[in-house]
Structure 1
Amino acid sequence: MAIDCEDQELLEGFLAETTELLEKLDDDLITLEKSPDDSELMNRIFRSIHTVKGASSFLGFDFLVKVTHKTEDVLNRLRKVELSLNSEIMDVVLEAVDLVKTLVADIKDGEIVERDIETVISKLIPYLSEGAGEASVLSPAASATRKEPAPAPAAEAPVTQEAALKEAAEALEEAAAAAQEPAAAKEEPAKAAPPPQPKAAAASKEPPKQPAAAKGDELADNTTVRVDVKRLDDLMNQVGELVLERNRMIQLHSDFQAGLDISGFTDDFGKLSKRLNFVTSELQMQVLKMRMLPVEKVFKKFPRIVRNLARDLGKEVDLQVFGEETELDRSVVDEIGDPLIHLIRNALDHGLETPDERLAAGKGRVGTVVLSAAHEGNQIVISIKDDGRGIDPERVSKKALDKGLVTEDQLASMGQREILELIFLPGFSTKEQTTDLSGRGVGMDVVRTNIRKLNGIIEIKNDLGHGSEFILKLPLTLAIIQSLLVEVEKEIYSIPLSSVIETLRVSTRDFHMVGGQEVLKLRDSVLPLLRLQQTFDCAHAGEDRETCYVVIVGVAEKRVGLVVSRLLGQQEVAIKSLGKFLANLPGIGGSTIMGDGRVALIVDPMGLIGGGESAGVRKSA
């Protein structure tokens, strides 16, 4: 059934505010389970559900009112200490919140889907006070004339239209909620929702379907970003500065065309260029800040995931989260969720031992998983660290050999880090029986592929018997990068500066062939070389040089020297997509347009080092 809402702006406001409230609920509820005496947290959770109920009733979403009303009643008994919080109650409340997310997602999709809400409500009713089974609120009009299942404080009085609108638009901060709700009228207008229907009839209309819990994860609106008003003011100021410089440029051009005194034209134009460069850089920074989101948007769903997994696996886990305020581009935020979920599951399933195993190893019963984020230069570093059993390199080697992923000769030449990276190979798994939860290798190749698509890298630190750590290094934004411009036989290429370790000017006589691979002896190591002229099939410019330049690039611990004709200097470039036709070119991740209008291809070091698998430097969405 399609949603018919006369005020589309009000509906969009409801969806935005409700989504924001629900996104925070999972994290708050898991925190409450650990700190049941935190009355402030309990009240915040209660108000969130109450706000959703009030706004839903005003818009006539009676199915949402039913679920949120019963959930609110259970939360009210908990906050009045009429119930003691335990895992069973929390399971039911979380299931109810999942259903609310699903129902809101249905509204967002523009269709009212008939779902089995009575199953969840029937699980909530046993935790209500006596007589609650008969007190089912089917609509705001009905709720105004019937008693609440439990003695309700003033804050639980039915809300007026004005209060509901305020809740939908502002999500009611604590002080506003306390001031608004006691003043609510004793009766809500009947037109706020359809007439009440008997409970049995409502139940018979709905087929017994399980709520699509996964749909709740899609509540976040990927088409909008909340922006601080101060950032908008700063942006407007920079646009004003840009307008002034534009006017100055027009005036200079007009004077030049009119043949007026242009003796100081060169100096004036030089000053204008510097000023334009400064203002444009500031404007760019302000726009990037507007696209930035805290990584908390991704992190806040992990406490719920860890709680559920720990119970399924029979393990006791303490999840510690740090740096959730760290900001990065929304395009990166949208892409890192799935890889992080898999790594978290991997840490619980494979990394942490059971309580008995930990005690036998001299550890505490409760395992620890630390999820952290921090800025490091122009990158964000995300770490997933556990204090479990670690990764056994011998077991990894044996499994890779048994599966035919490597040969004995290859293993003999590998260091420990290279052996650990075998878990990223497709089809690798150290587990004898695969599960739906995770697997070191079951999907780990997908994790690395997804990180590479973000032009990031993943590294492993391992301490056998004491735990392991997976470190993700990601760019802050996918739209603009610092690059090193190089010339290869009169063609210009851009190399991301984040991958450049150093540059050298060397004689071609210092190059040697070892096992069919051209190499350069660099200090105490041998550096493999890659001639970009041959890699990209550049036409020979007819110049035979005795010296050339080598740009040393690195991905994780791997190093390779890119042989180029000349170094042109560093420059900040905007990444442009090559389109579907030229997507996934080995070693090429995008393009940019130079100041003179020429197109320069952006080199993908990860694709070159990884044997042709392009990491895909992408244009930001």
Structure 2
Amino acid sequence: METNQYIEVFIDESKENLQVVNDRLLDLEKDPSDLSMVDEIFRAAHTLKGMSATMGYEDLADLTHKLENVLDAIRQERLVANSDVLDILLESVEYLEEMIFNIAEGGDGSKDVSSIVDKLKIIEKGEVPVQTSDTTTHKQSPPSSESLLDIDQFEKTVIQQAKADGQKVFQTKVSLSEDCLLKVARVFMVFEVLEQSGEVIKSIPTVEELENEDFEDSFNVIIITNDSEKELEAKILKVSEVQTVEVTPFEVVEEDEKTSGATPDEFSNQEASNNKVQKEEAAPAKANNKGVASKTIRVNIERLDVLMNLFEELVIDRGRLEQISHELNHNDLKGTVERMSRISGDLQNIILNMRMVPIDQVFNRFPRMVRQLTRDLGKDIHLQIEGAETELDRTVIDEIGDPLVHLIRNAIDHGIEQPEVRKQAAKPKQGQLLLKAYHSGNHVFVEIKDDGQGINQEKVLAKAIDNGVISQEQSTNLTDRQINELILASGFSTADKISDISGRGVGLDVVKSTIESLGGSIEIESEYGKGTTFSIQLPLTLSIISVMLVVVQEEIYAVPLSSIIETAVIKKADIMKAHNKEVIDFRGNIVPLVDIKNVFDVPRKDDQEQEAEYYSIVIVRKGEQMAGLVVDSFIGQQEIVLKGLGNYLTDVFAISGATILGNGEVALVIDSNSLIK
């Protein structure tokens, strides 16, 4: 079968199913008693296995099949989903991710999966793998009276307590007649007898499987009762179509700690066993709580890029038509152009929305990463995610992942302290890490906030002076925010030791440059001993932006509206001098002036140069800092298509791109962030 035409669909759907497996496994660790999540994981893994086998990726299908077997054991309650088991399941997810990304890059998806398959086989048998320096060994789980009736720690505790109180514990095997027609009814009658005689601790198959008639002719139960073996057997045999009843004492096999397969995580799963009936009743309710499936189609991002480029040309022609209609002053032409402008505006919103994807596509990789890092570092950190549904342009989504990864790793490694250090500082043992996204105006803000030790500004200043980032004289005039932002300088690090996680002196400067290349900015707020917040501001889209067109001599420039506070006209007499620089008093704030003619060396006109009594000012802001851009006049607001300057003009100071105006002229787009020091 020719599979090339299906490869893109396979990759997309495989990533989606794998994300479901990853997310639900992390949820299962928080609530091991909720087996409905296991069903969801199993379905996603089963779908992935089927697609992989169909496409001919044998290693992928084989590993997924072994993963299915373990999930089925958890679903059948033959295996407890403790941390040791979940470690191996998540490790297998990493293997699957690597293979899928290999396929996406043009590979064949082959990988040596023998080691992880061996681990999955071990835990499927109820054994716990142990990592050693050379090989992976395993510990044998303790035997029970019957392999199908393995009990967890809570059930063992209940049984031991019952025996201490003088009660009896029996394993009862009930076999129905081969010609029994209403097996479910007979099972119900047997359970009614058992519940009148004592307390049922466990049943194999499970209650749900018995109700669904998903068993042969026999089933086993463990019961705590005051009846004798013969009394219990006689009561059950009174139920018609019960062929045989085998009642034997159930003994708990004791184990020493060295050979025990039980882990602390198993001890915490008491609710899973204690509320079996409640769990069985709650599962169908969750299964039925499904939303209506939306009708969607998959569109290659390259097609959307082509559509966006065509629309950008339409925006340029729209501007040209608006100018022509204004010059001709023809009413019918004006009306038609206005209508076309409204329709193209609606079309623009639709196209932009088509390119918008939830930032959840980036956020969903972090819970597993945080889990692994906290275990590696011996820390206790709770990751909270808010606003994952916030949407961003696909281009921005593709670029923002790596900066966020570095900031989160930095917060875990350097920000949040070890539990014993937090305890000495009168902080909760568990550190808090918040990852938050939200819309504000034409921007999306992403915040990474921790309640760790914060930034030691004295240490930062000393390191910055030693590294030559700033001089001793400059250090005396810096605000707290400016000191915090020194850690974004190239090669800057205050780490006392280098680790594999962070602290090599590279990274934060790359984070800053990546974010600024997207038209965004990053700010840092920190209080020593309390925590740190990194706030990233990103544009909703990179291609069509709203600007203020201004005139400087005979040239036209565009200033993004997102950076503008307001425009003003001031008298020359209102300009003051401070530190040999021109400044103005803007609503009680001293704002420095930046003359665009000087910045871009615009050719000057000789006439009336010295006679100007008024200045046109565009007040722009970067965080809490402001500046006034001096221009000759304002043209007005307009939506423009932002174009790059090409491969030969990649690093032009204070210019982020260019646009084609309605009259065919080219206007440069000013990067006001570069002008604010």
User: Normalising by the residue count of structure 1, what TM-score does the alignment of the two structures yield?
Assistant: 0.74
**Residue by residue, what CA displacement relative to the aligned partner does 1:509-540 show, whole Å, maximum 9, x if unpaired?**
43344434333343433322211112112111
The residue matched to 2:330 in structure 1 has which SS? helix
1:426-456 residue CA offsets vs partner (Å, 9 max, x unmatched): 1221211122212496421111111111111
Whether the 8 Å contact between 1:129 and 1:150 is mirrored in structure 2 is no
Equivalent in the alignment of 1:346: 410
Question: For residues 567 and 498 of structure 1, what CA distance do their matches in structure 2 show?
Answer: 17
Deviations 1:158-188 (A, max 9, x none): xxxxxxxxxxxxxxxxxxxxxxxx9xxxxxx
| SS state at 1:30 partner | helix
Q: 1:10/1:284 Cα in 2 relative to 1: closer, same or farther (>3 Å)? A: same
Q: Deviations over 1:550-586 (max 9, x none)?
A: 1111111222211100011111111111111122200
Please state if 1:275 is matched with 2:339: yes
- CA deviation profile, 1:295-328 (whole Å, cap 9, x unmatched): 0000000001101110111100110001101111
Q: Is the 8 A contact 1:350 1:440 kept in 2?
A: no
1:431 aligned to 495, 504, 507, which one? 495
Is contact 2:618-2:630 (8 Å) kept? yes
Which shows bigger deviation, 564-573 or 422-431?
422-431
SS at match of 1:462: strand
Q: Distance in 2 between matches of 1:150 and 1:376?
A: 57
**What amino acid maps onto 1:121 in structure 2?**
V
How far, CA to CA, are the matches of 1:231 and 1:596 in structure 2?
Answer: 38
Compared CA separation, residues 265 and 531, structure 1 to 2 (3 A):
closer
CA RMSD, 1 decimal:
2.9
AA aligned to 2:657 is G
State the SS of the aligned residue for 2:640.
strand
SS in 2 for 1:563: strand
Residue 112 of structure 2 corresponds to: 116
- Tell me the residue number matched to 1:45: 41
Equivalent of 2:586 in 522, 526, 545: 522
Match of 1:308 among 351, 363, 372: 372
Count matched residues. 490
How far is 1:486 from its partner?
0.4
1:541 pairs with 597, 602, 605, which one?
605
Task: Please point out which of 46, 51, 54 is paired with 2:50.
Answer: 54
SS in 2 for 1:469: strand
What is the CA–CA distance in structure 1 between the aligned matches of 2:46 and 2:457, rounded to whole Å? 53
- 1:388 and 2:455 equivalent? no
Structure 1 position 25 matched with structure 2 position 24: no
Which of 561, 569, 584 is matched with 2:628 structurally? 561
SS for the counterpart of 1:581 is: coil
Q: 1:124: how far off?
A: 1.1
* Structure 1: distance between partners of 2:382 and 2:667: 49
2:645 aligned partner: 578
CA separation in 1, counterparts of 2:415 and 2:617? Answer: 41
Within-5 A mapping of 1:446-525: 446-525=510-589
CA distances 1:68-104 after superposition (whole Å, capped 9, x unpaired): 1111111111122211122221121112112122222
Counterpart Cα distance in 1 of 2:527 and 2:114: 50
Q: Which amino acid in the other structure matches residue 501 of structure 1?
A: I
Evaluate the alpha carbon distance shift between residue 440 and residue 506 of structure 1 in structure 2; reply closer, same or farther with a 3 A threshold: farther
Aligned counterpart, 2:659: 592
* Matched residue type, 1:377: G
Give the SS at the match of 1:431. Answer: coil
Query: Structure 1, residues 267-295: CA drift from partner, whole Å, max 9, x if none?
Result: 22222121111001000000000000000
1:109-146 deviation line (CA, Å, top 9, x unaligned)? 33326531111111111112389x9xxxxxxxxxxxxx
SS at match of 2:343: helix
8 Å contact 1:73–1:150 — kept in the other structure? no
SS in 2 for 1:44: helix
User: How many Å separate the matches in 2 of 1:594 and 1:12?
Assistant: 39
Map of 1:335 onto structure 2 = 399
Q: Which amino acid aligns with 1:47?
A: R
Q: Any idea what SS the aligned residue of 1:436 has?
A: coil
Q: Hey, what's the Cα distance between the residues in 2 that align with 1:311 and 1:231?
A: 38
C-alpha distance in structure 1 between counterparts of 2:635 and 2:566, whole Å: 14
Farther off after superposition, 276-285 or 537-546: 537-546
Amino acid at match of 2:675: L
Kept in 1: contact 2:547–2:637 (CA 8 A): yes
Contact kept, 8 Å, 1:488 with 1:532, in 2: the verdict is yes
The answer to whether the 8 Å contact 2:99/2:110 transfers is no
More strand by share: 2
Q: Give SS of 2:645's match.
A: coil
Change (3 A) 1:11 1:399: closer
- Residues 368, 440 of structure 1: alpha-carbon distance in 2 compared, 3 angstrom cutoff: farther
- Does structure 2 conserve the Cα–Cα contact (< 8 Å) formed by 1:530 and 1:560? yes
| TM-score normalized with structure 2 length | 0.68
Which protein has the larger Cα radius of gyration, Structure 1 or Structure 2? 2
In structure 2, C-alpha distance between the alignment counterparts of 1:81 and 1:229, rounded to whole Å: 37
Question: Quick one: structure 1 residues 328 and 68, their matched pair in 2 at CA, closer, same or farther if it must change by over 3 Å?
Answer: same
Report what 2:287 is aligned to. Answer: none
Corresponding residue of 2:98: 102
In the alignment, the residues of structure 1 paired with residue 116 and residue 417 of structure 2 have an alpha-carbon distance, to the nearest angstrom, of: 34
Distance 1:475 1:302 in 2: 22
